[in-house]
Amino acid sequence: MGLFDRVFRGSDEMYALAEKSVDETIKQLGSDAPVAFPNTAYFLACIYAYTGLKVTNLGELKAALTPIREMMTKEKRTQDIFTSGIATAMAAEAIEACKYAVSPTPYEEPYHGHMSDAEVRELGVPLVTQDIPGFVVMIGPAPSDEEAAKTIKSYQSKGIFVFLIGGIIDQAVRMGLNLGFPVRVVPVGPDLWSVGHVISLVVRAAMIFGNIQPNCYKEMNEYTFKRIFAFVNAYAPVDDMTVACGAGAIAMGFPVITNDTEDMWRVPKSLLIQENTEDFIETSLEARDIKIKVTDIDIPVSFSTAFEGEIIRRGNMRLEIDGSRKDCFELSRMRDAADVEDHKIELIGKDFDEFEPGSKICCGIIVEVAGKNMQTDFEPVLERKFHNYLNCAEGIMHTGQRDLIRIRVSNDAFDAGFRARHLGEILYAKVKNEYANIVDKCQVKIYTDPDEVKELRAEANKVYDYRDDRLLSLTDESVDVFYTCILCQSFSPSHVCIVTPERLGLCGAVSWLDAKATNELDPNGPCQVVTKKQVIDENLGAYADVNEAVMKYSQGALERVTLYSIMQDPMTSCGCFECICGIEPFSNGVIIVNREHTGMTPLGMTFSEMASMTGGGVQTPGFMGHGKHFISSKKFMKAEGGVQRIVWMPKALKDTVADKLNATAKELYGIDNFVDMIGDETIAEDPETLLNFLGEVGHPALGLDPMM
C-alpha cells in the first residue's frame, strides 16, 4: 500500500468515526440540540473556514458531513490528494464537537481541548515579535519518557509553542513537566482527532489577523503557509489516520517530520523521514526555515519567552521580593560613559542563600546605561521591559513595576543555583542585545540591604514623579511627529497603527516613547515618523500627513484614518487589541469589553463576537480595537463626546482604569466619580436594564447628541 493509499484510507476512517459520532449524539440529544465550542465567534472553525457553513446544532453538523465527504471523493483525490487531508481535519473537528454537545466541559486535566478566541488573540503580539517563532504539534508517544521531556523542553527553550496529542501527554505528566497555555506547552487531547482543535486555532488566526474570509480554500492555505510557521512531529508507529491528518498539515504549509518508514517516501520540505528522533528539532526548524535568536545568558536555569506565563505558587517559593510589604523598586538610569563599567554586576547586601526559606525581602534593582544615542526619555522604555526579561527565566515570576514589584524565586530555580546576581545577568544581556543601537555600556546594581533600599526607594520615587510630570506634558499637540507601527503586518497585511502620545498602539504594548525608541533603534523598521503639519479636522484627529502614511504603509488598502473618532474612518484593528469599543444605540453611548472577559455584553455579543467584526485590518465604523490605557485618554472618542460616552465595562476592567478615568472625566467635563455611573456585568447584561440604571444615575451620555 502506497503513501497516497494510506492518506485516503485514513480519511475514510476518520470520516466513519465522525459519522458514527454525529449519528449517536443525535440519537442521544436530537437534531435541534445546540453544538458549539466555548468562547468563540467562529462556530466550528475548521468547517466554517473551509465550507462557510455556520454549524450551530447537531442537524447542521450532520448536513456538514456531506461537503466533508465530497472533499474525499475519488474525483477530488485525483485533483489534489491534500484536499482529503483537510477534510480529515474537518471530520476530526466534528468528532470533538459531539463531545462538547454532550458536555460543555468534556476534558479534565491535564487535557486542554478547545482553545478560545481570547487565547488565539493572546498569541498575536508574541507571534509578531517572534517571541513565538513557530508551533510544533507532537503526536506521540516518543521512544522514551526521558526523550519526550527533553524534546519538549528544548522546543520550549527556543520559544516554540508546543501542542501535545496522544501518549506523549502521559509521558510529559510522568516526567513532571509544567503544562498549560501560559507556559506554551498545551496537552490538547488523548486521541488523534483532538488535532481538530489545533487546526481550529490556526484557521481562526487567519480569519482574525489576516481577514481571510470563510470558504476561501486557496487563500486560507496560502495565508497559513506564508504567515504561520508550524510543523508536525509524528512518532512511529504512524497509523493511517495520522498520515491523513499529515496530508492536511502539508496542504496548509506545515511540514511533517516522522521516523516511520512504512509506506512513506520523502517529499522535500513537506514530508521528511528522520529516523533519529533526537534530531527531530533541528530537522523541523530547517524544514520550516525558522531561525532561532540566541541570547547567551550566564544563568543556571532555562531562559525562554515560553516561561513568561509561569506561576510560582507559595508552596514552591524559596523567597519573594515583595514591594507591597517591603521596600523594593526597579529603575533604569542614563549615565555618562565614564560612570558605567560594562557588564559590571554588583550585589550590595545578602545573597538569596543567606535568607531563610520563604522569606519576603527588600530589593532594589538599578540598571545604568550609557550610549551616544541614549536619551532620558528611553529610561522608562527599558524599565518596562524588565518585567518581560525576568519572567523568561524558568522558575522566576515577576509582576508589577516601579516600587510595587514582586519577584518570586522557586525552590527548583534556587536549587539549580539561581542567585541575586543572575537577575543582573538577565537584565544586562537583554538590554545590550535588544537595545544595541542606543546602549553602548550597561551595569547592574542589586541592593538587598534594607537601609540602602529604603533610602534609594525614596530617590527612585522622585524619578518616577518627574517622569509622570514629563509624560503628562507629552500631548498630541505638544509633539511635532507621530509614528506608524506596522509590526502586526506580518499577520494583518493592511493594518497600520498611528501611535501618538495620547493614543498608544491598540495592543497596549507600544507607546509613543516606545515607537520613538524603536525608530531610533531601526530607522527603516516598523515605526516610521509621521508628520502632522496638514490638519484637516482637529476634532476628528484627521491629518493629510496621516492619510498619506496609512495609504503608503497599508500598500493602498487604506486611504483615510481619523485618530479621535469611532464613527468616521476609525483606525483599523489587527486582532491583537486589549479591548474593543462598540456603539450601544439604546443608551446613545458605547460599551468597552476587554479580552479577558468571557461573559455577555449589553450588545448581545461577547468579546469574541464583537472582535470577529473588527479585526483583520479593516475599518468598522461604530467599533474600535484599542489598548486599556487609551480608555482614560483625553483623546478617547473626542469627536463623539469623549469618555462621557462610556456606559458599560466589565467590573474588573472598570476597577483597573477607575482612578485615571475619573480624573479625566472631572478635568474635561466636571463629572465627579464618573466610574460609578458606568454599568458592569453585576448591574446589567442587557440594554433595557442598562438603560434603566443609566437613567437612575443620570449618566451624561443620555443627554448627548445622537451618535447615529
**pLDDT of the residue at 136:** 98
Band of pLDDT at residue 78, cut at 50, 70 and 90: very low
What pLDDT, in 10s, does the model give residues 661-686?
A: 999 999 999 999 999 999 999 999 99
Position 626, amino acid: H
Closest Cα partner for 658 from 684, 632, 625, 682?
A: 632
What pLDDT, in 10s, does the model give residues 537-574?
A: 999 999 999 999 999 999 999 999 999 999 999 999 88
Cα–Cα dist 360/319, whole Å: 6
The maximal CA–CA distance of the chain, rounded, in angstroms, is 80
The region that residue 642 occupies, defined by phi over 0 for left and psi between -120 and 50 for alpha, beta otherwise, is left
- Geometric angle at alpha carbon 564, from 562 and 565, rounded to 5°: 75
Q: What percent of the chain lies above the pLDDT cut of 90?
A: 90
Closest Cα partner for 37 from 50, 52, 21, 56?
A: 56
pTM: 0.91
Cα–Cα dist 79/83, whole Å: 9
How many structural domains is the chain composed of? 3
Can you tell me the mean pLDDT for 145-163? 96
What pLDDT, in 10s, does the model give residues 431-485?
A: 999 999 999 999 999 999 999 999 999 999 999 999 989 888 999 999 999 999 9
Residue 368: CB atoms within 10 A of its CB come to: 19
Handedness of CA 581, 584, 587, 589 (dihedral sign): positive
Q: What share of the chain is helix, strand, coil (3-state, %, to 5)?
A: 45, 15, 40
Tell me which residue range forms the domain holding 675: 481-703
Q: Has residue 10 got a pLDDT over 50?
A: yes
Q: Has residue 495 got a pLDDT over 90?
A: yes
Residue pair 134/61 in contact (Cβ under 8 Å)? The answer is: no
Can you tell me the mean pLDDT for 610-631? 92
Residue with the bigger pLDDT between 345 and 79: it is: 345
Q: Using CB atoms within 10 A of its CB, is residue 71 exposed (0-12), middle (13-18) or buried (19+)?
A: buried
Can you tell me the mean pLDDT for 143-168? 97
In this structure, the answer to whether residues 212 and 309 fall within a common structural domain is: no
User: Considering 467, 502, 517, which residue would you say is the last residue of a domain?
Assistant: 467
The reply to whether 299 falls in a domain is: no
Q: Has residue 389 got a pLDDT over 90?
A: yes
Can you tell me the mean pLDDT for 38-62? 97
Q: Has residue 73 got a pLDDT over 90?
A: no
Q: Coil, helix or strand for 71?
A: coil
In this structure, the answer to whether residues 275 and 316 fall within a common structural domain is: no
Band of pLDDT at residue 5, cut at 50, 70 and 90: confident
Closest Cα partner for 493 from 545, 557, 560?
A: 557
The reply to whether 475 falls in a domain is: no
Here the CATH number for the domain that contains residue 216 is 3.40.50.2030
User: Considering 440, 467, 494, which residue would you say is the last residue of a domain?
Assistant: 467
User: Considering 439, 467, 495, which residue would you say is the last residue of a domain?
Assistant: 467
> What is the secondary structure of 571-639 as a DSSP string?
PPB-S--SEEEEEETTTTEEEEEETT--S--TTS--HHHHHTTT-TTB--TTEEEE-GGGGG-TTTTGG
Instruction: Report the chain's mean pLDDT, rounded to a whole number.
Output: 95
Q: Has residue 399 got a pLDDT over 90?
A: yes
Sequence-separated (6 or more) residues with CB below 8 Å from residue 455: none
In this structure, the answer to whether residues 196 and 280 fall within a common structural domain is: yes
Q: Has residue 263 got a pLDDT over 90?
A: no
Q: Coil, helix or strand for 137?
A: strand
Cα–Cα dist 109/634, whole Å: 46
In this structure, the answer to whether residues 453 and 507 fall within a common structural domain is: no
Q: What percent of the chain lies above the pLDDT cut of 70?
A: 99
Here the CATH number for the domain that contains residue 683 is 3.40.1470.10
In this structure, the answer to whether residues 222 and 312 fall within a common structural domain is: no
**pLDDT of the residue at 74:** 59
